[in-house]
A and B are shown apart, each in its own frame.
Chain A
C-alpha cells in the first residue's frame, strides 16, 4: 500500500533561516512525488515535482526538494525563509505503476517569525 508521511504538523523558522519540511513515502517502486503550497482560503499550488529525472528538483519561490531513494524521502527546503512563505505545505505521491491514485500527506503548517 502507498502512503506518505509528513513529520511535523507545525514548523516555525525565523525570517532568513533555512526551511526544511520533511516528507517520507512508503512504496516498493519509487513513485512520482509532488509538493504543494496552500495559502488561507485558497486551493493548492504546485511547488515542484519529481518525475524520475534529476533527483534534485527546483521549484517556484526558491524552493527545492531532493529525492533520496535510500531514505524514501523527498524533503522540501529553502535556504532563506520569507514572511510570505508562511502557509500550509502538502507532500503528495502518485504511484508509478498504477492509474489515478494520488495520496496527500497530512500537511505541515509553516510559520515564519520576523
Chain B
C-alpha cells in the first residue's frame, strides 16, 4: 500500500511555457502533500507543504507566483511551474503523508523538467 503516482516523469519544453505536474496518492487519503526540488547529487529541498482545501505553505525563497500549488482533494495535488525558464530545470518530487508524527512520507517517482 501507500503508492504515490507522479506524472509526467519527463518534460522538455520551451522557455516561457507553463508546466503542470500531478501527484496522486492511489490507495490512501493524504492529509498533507509535499513538493521538493532536487539538484544533482544533493538532498531534497522542500518547496512547499499543502493540505487539502488550504493554501500551500511555501518555504522561504520559493516564489509563490512561480510555483503554483493546488491541492484539490485528499488524493491529488498539482504543481504548476509558470513561465518556466532554463533555471527552473530540475528534478521535482512530490510526497504524500496520511497523518503526522510516526507516519512516513510516501514519494512519487519524480519529474525531470528540462527547459530549453
A residues apposed to B, CB below 8 Å:
32, 34, 36, 41-46, 49, 51-52, 90, 92, 94, 96, 98-100, 102, 104-107, 109
Contact = CB atoms under 8 A, between A and B. Distances in A.
Given A90-B44, A102-B105, A104-B43, A43 B110 contact: yes
Interface string B71-108: 00000000000000000000101010100111111111
Contacts of B112: 41
B106 A46 contact: yes
Interface residues of B, number: 25
A3 to B, nearest CB: 13
Contacts of B107: 36, 43-45
Given A42-B109, A44-B107, A49-B104, A90 B43 contact: yes
Nearest to B41: A109
A43 B102 contact: no
B25 interface: no
B43 A44 contact: no
Contact of B97 (A52, A96, A100): A100
B34 interface: yes
Contact of B102 (A51, A90, A100, A105): A51
B102 A94 contact: yes
B50 to A, nearest CB: 10
B27 to A, nearest CB: 15
Contact of A43 (B41, B42, B97, B109): B109
Nearest to A50: B102
A92 B46 CA distance: 13
Contact of B104 (A34, A43, A96, A109): A34
A16 to B, nearest CB: 26
A76 to B, nearest CB: 15
